[in-house]
Amino acid sequence: MENINNEEKNDLNYDENILKKKDFELNSLDYEEAIKLDHRNYFQYYGSSLKYNHPLLFSFGTYNDYNSKIIKIFLFFFSFCLDITINALFFTDDAMHKIYQDKGQFNFLYQIPQILYSTFISRFIDSLIKNFSLSQDILVELKQEMRKDIIDQRHKKIIFMLKIKFSLFFIFSFLFLIFCWYYLTCFCCIYINTQIHLFKDSLSSLITSLFIPFVLYLIPGIFRIISLKVRKPSRKYLYKFSLFLDNYIC
């Protein structure tokens, strides 16, 4: 009898752990739900935003976020490869002429626009690719379903959808990586003296992409925390604005 009770308690604790909302789920709650459930302070929210959005923390951190660990790590290196390729595409005739005028010296100030352009373009493409590679949203939607019969019906469909989704993702990714390899090989063979500039630009873009989230994610939390302190109709718009910044700007 005691063993049965212990098993029931373990099952209950297991169910509670499953149903308990993760940080990233709290971040996307509606205003009314957030008022009831989200009691974090500014720094806790800021930390959770970084965990799930900073390239290094997201890819290599150990969080139970319903995403494949292998895919997250793959995305980090895929993003770096994408960044190098985009940087190479920005080496136009004008850029080459500037390198010639500077006698091969790396002109950081001149390269800043190229570094920023490639960084933001890479971030935009990364956000699109993540829609095809991450399973988090689909599983959260299933988790919110309360009827067991519907969960059982949708379970097989979701497994099938994820298999298709991941297959398409890896096919597209490897085709794209082959293109990157071919283009970068041709570029480095033709412009031998520009390789060091490409490496420095790509490294600068990587450092920029790793630094930007620390600054950007300071902003949404300000509006979010203020909006959740007091339940007022006007605060609801502040909360929606914080969600907009979190989802589309940062």
Q: Convert the pLDDT of each residue in 29-41 to its tens digit.
A: 888 888 888 888 9
- DSSP state at residue 246: I
Q: Convert the pLDDT of each residue in 162-209 to its tens digit.
A: 888 888 888 888 898 899 999 999 988 888 878 888 888 888 888 888
Would you give the distance in Å from CA 133 to the centre of its chain?
11
Determine whether 41 is exposed, middle or buried from the number of CB atoms within 10 Å of its CB (0-12, 13-18, 19+). exposed
Task: Say if residue 5's pLDDT is above 50.
Answer: no
Pairwise CA distance, residues 150 & 155, whole Å: 8
Query: Which residues make Cβ contacts (< 8 Å) with residue 202, sequence separation at least 6?
Result: 80, 83, 84, 87, 118
